[in-house]
Amino acid sequence: MKIVLASASERRQELLGRLVEEFTTMISSFDEDTVMFKGNVSKYVEEIALGKANDVMTKIQEPSIIIGADTVVTLENRVLGKPKDKIDACNMLKSLSNKTHQVYTGVVLINTDNKKILKESIVTEVTFSKLTDNDINSYIQSGEYIDKAGAYGIQGKGGIFAKEIRGCYYNVVGLPLNKLNQMIKDIF
């Protein structure tokens, strides 16, 4: 059966390639802003991931397993999505400095053949060291913050900010491999 990743993320594509040999990608046109955060982060990321997977499902004819995912960073139950600009990114990184935050990824799998849907969310705690203004400005200048939840990429230069990680590292990158591997086995 065909596997379709409902994402343009190169990070997610690279990670999924570790689990399955063949898959295709299809960019979802689901508007994430239509999902309102109501205080439950797990449900929030699962709902966005489901929206992405459902959107891609409408564009596919052949039996497929569709994988949708969404990742957000939270600090004190406040969602830090992708920064709007450099100032927003700078403010996010300042707020994460010397604190522990949570990274949630919602993963949804849809089997279009048997109509089975699996939804999961994973949380990983990340503690940042104290960041100086120079640390933050240097990172912002690298451009790596663009299109990253919480304004950082742990798999890149942003990884030097992480003093401690509790939970799945790959969840912070954007696709929890261990959980996804089990979900792929369970979807048939």
Query: pLDDT tens-digit profile of 150-165?
Result: 999 999 999 999 999 9
The conformational region for residue 69 under phi > 0 = left, psi -120 to 50 = alpha, else beta, is: beta
CA atoms of 128 and 139, how far apart (whole Å): 14
Give residues with Cβ within 8 angstroms of 163, minimum separation 6. 127, 128, 129
What pLDDT, in 10s, does the model give residues 95-147?
999 999 999 999 999 999 999 999 999 999 999 999 999 999 999 999 999 99
Phi, psi of 48 (to 5 degrees): -65, -45
pLDDT at 105: 98
DSSP 150: G
pLDDT at 103: 98
Sorted by where each starts, the structural domains of the chain and their CATH numbers stand as 2-186 (3.90.950.10)
Q: Is 88 a catalytic residue?
A: no
Look up the pTM and report it: 0.95
The answer to whether the CB of 118 falls within 8 A of the CB of 127 is no
Which of the following is catalytic: 31, 70, 133, 147?
Answer: 70
